[in-house]
Amino acid sequence: MSHGFDYDLVIIGAGVGGHGAALHAVSCGLKTAIIEAADMGGTCVNRGCIPSKALLAASGRVRELRNAHHLKSLGIQVGNVEFDRQAIANHAGNLVAKIQGDLTNSLKRLGVDIIRGWGKVAGAQKVTITTDNGEKTITAKDIILSPGSVPFVPPGIEVDGKTVFTSDQGVKLESLPNWVAIIGSGYIGLEFSDIYSALGCEITLIEALDQLMPGFDRDIAKLAERVLITPRDIETKVGIYAKKIIPGSPVVIELANFQTKEDVEVLEVDACLVATGRIPATQNLGLDSVGVELDRRNFIPVNDNMAVLSGGEVVPHLWAIGDATGKMPLAHAASAQGIVAVDNIIGRERQVDYRSIPAAAFTHPEVSYVGLTETAAKELGLTEGFEIATTKSYFKGNSKALAENESDGIAKVIYRKDTGEVLGVHIFGLHASDLIHEAAAAIANRQAVHHLANLVHAHPTLSEVLDEAYKRAIAS
């Protein structure tokens, strides 16, 4: 291959998106190089999914072992449960090192050239790489941009990385403040509130919008609040935003009403985690050299084939994937986009089916969803001329959840009334992040509740929660 180019494919950014694209490219016979300016593995491996899940695993165990009431109900008694903050932090750090090594080795083993430095498009089918030792230009038949995202810090908030920090520093668990404010109740804020509350910190959770967990389906968010927030040492402030945050000891937080912008109160806390979303890392990528303009939120404009667009037209041989596209900022979505981009490069035309990509928050218990929320499904129904129906089933009616004595949970299925096609599934409860995949497969295949209700699930398993929801749908 290569046809007069240095490479068939050059990928800028070795996060999970770039990694997924590279592995697939090699399996399709493409001569591939990947350029990384900082840590191999990007956000997910170094500052995101991996360390946060390690902290959640350890802190979740502490929560479980300290829940004397729950253990007693199972006939178990344990003595004083202690933990070592640094050892928990080390568990996360060691896992990051292992997965970063595995990821890098998988690329090397398959013959992907890893080029360290800052990659930049330098005109059609050309990339320059800048390192401390200078600059070099390589050519590639196709280029995939996968530069990812970084934490968004709103104006007025000063981050010192010690007392006021983002998830980048939070995953290192360098301290356990007695009182920590968390700004933002999206999934990152929620996962950190799970970690900190399990490890004994007092929390104030501040959400600018008028409800907590604004990204989740309302029924799920309501129950999640009753289980994940209300009974824990977490105070909430909703409709309130942090106008100014000054690091130090104490951290000073000026709060204001999000609607009226009037000052509300000043908090003095030990530390503050800023979890107010992420912004694309799309500056200085050389896009002007090929006439591409970022959209108004600085994402790289793409179509569902992952081709980069300029003025709505496809830019030949230029592709973009991952958080930088603003489509679905999740690790597996980035990787799926990478695989689709490569398929299109080799002429196997394919689009990303975002509706069937699941998402999860790894709290205790977990939240997961796939497809549309009830509100979005209703809107789609209005434009496409169909009505929707919903059905719910509860973990408290599930034998496995009852055996575990962990029966707080709900599954909600949203489907078309006329055809029964499943449009969205939302789960809150034990192992929700694993349970969601059955629903994701059903949505990917555009299956209807009538079909799904006839599938047989092993008994007793948590998967029967979905079975029950599908059966209720056809009975109603």
Ligand X SMILES: Cc1cc2nc3c(=O)[nH]c(=O)nc-3n(C[C@H](O)[C@H](O)[C@H](O)COP(=O)(O)OP(=O)(O)OC[C@H]3O[C@@H](n4cnc5c(N)ncnc54)[C@H](O)[C@@H]3O)c2cc1C
Distances (CA, A) of 127 to 136, 184, 315, 342: 8, 38, 15, 18
Residue 165 engages ligand X in binding (rule: CB under 6 A) = no
Minimum CB distance to ligand X, residue 333 (Å): 7
Residue 177 engages ligand X in binding (rule: CB under 6 A) = no
Q: Is the peptide bond before 231 cis (omega within 30 degrees of 0)?
A: no
Residue 434 engages ligand X in binding (rule: CB under 6 A) = no
Residue closer to ligand X, measured from CB, 44 or 306: 44
Classify residue 46 by burial, with Cβ atoms within 10 Å: 0-12, 13-18, 19+: buried
Query: Please, which of residues 14-33 interact with ligand X by CB under 6 A?
Result: 14-18
Residue 147 engages ligand X in binding (rule: CB under 6 A) = yes
Residue 410 token pair: 């709900």
- Give the single-character DSSP code of 285: S
String marking each residue 83-122 x if it binds ligand X according to CB under 6 A: -----------------------------------xx---
Query: Closest Cα to residue 207, out of 274, 280, 297?
Result: 274
Give the range of 11-19, 24-32, 196-204, 371-379 binding ligand X by CB under 6 A. 11-19
Query: Please, which of residues 38-57 interact with ligand X by CB under 6 A?
Result: 38-39, 42-44, 47-49, 52
Q: What is the largest CA-CA distance in the chain?
A: 71
String marking each residue 256-285 x if it binds ligand X according to CB under 6 A: -------------------------x---x
Strand (E) positions, 270-421? Answer: 271-274, 278-280, 307-310, 313-320, 359-361, 366-371, 388-394, 410-416
Task: Note whether 416 and 437 are within 8 A (CB).
Answer: no
Residue 409 engages ligand X in binding (rule: CB under 6 A) = no
Asked about 426 being catalytic, the answer comes back as no
Q: What Rg do the C-alpha atoms of the chain give, in angstroms?
A: 24
User: Angle, nearest 10°, between helix axes 49-66 and 187-198?
Assistant: 40
Query: Closest Cα to residue 380, out of 329, 415, 420?
Result: 415
Residue closer to ligand X, measured from CB, 118 or 241: 118
Distance CA 449, CA 71 (A): 37
Residue closer to ligand X, measured from CB, 148 or 424: 148
Minimum CB distance to ligand X, residue 121 (Å): 9
Give the range of 83-91, 140-148, 266-274, 309-317 binding ligand X by CB under 6 A. 140-148
417-447 exposure pattern, b = at least 16 Cβ within 10 A, e = fewer: eeebbbbbbbbbbbbbbebbebbbebbeeeb
Residue closer to ligand X, measured from CB, 26 or 188: 188
String marking each residue 340-379 x if it binds ligand X according to CB under 6 A: ----------------------x-----------------
Residue 334 engages ligand X in binding (rule: CB under 6 A) = yes
Minimum CB distance to ligand X, residue 119 (Å): 4
Residue closer to ligand X, measured from CB, 184 or 329: 329
Residue closer to ligand X, measured from CB, 49 or 221: 49
Give the range of 8-16, 106-114, 302-310, 369-377 binding ligand X by CB under 6 A. 8-16
- Pick the catalytic residue from 3, 91, 437, 459: 459
Distance CA 219, CA 172 (A): 33
Distance CA 174, CA 271 (A): 11
Binding site for ligand X (CB under 6 A): 12-18, 35-39, 42-44, 47-49, 52, 118-119, 146-149, 167, 171, 188, 281, 285, 322-324, 329-332, 334, 362
Active site residues: 459
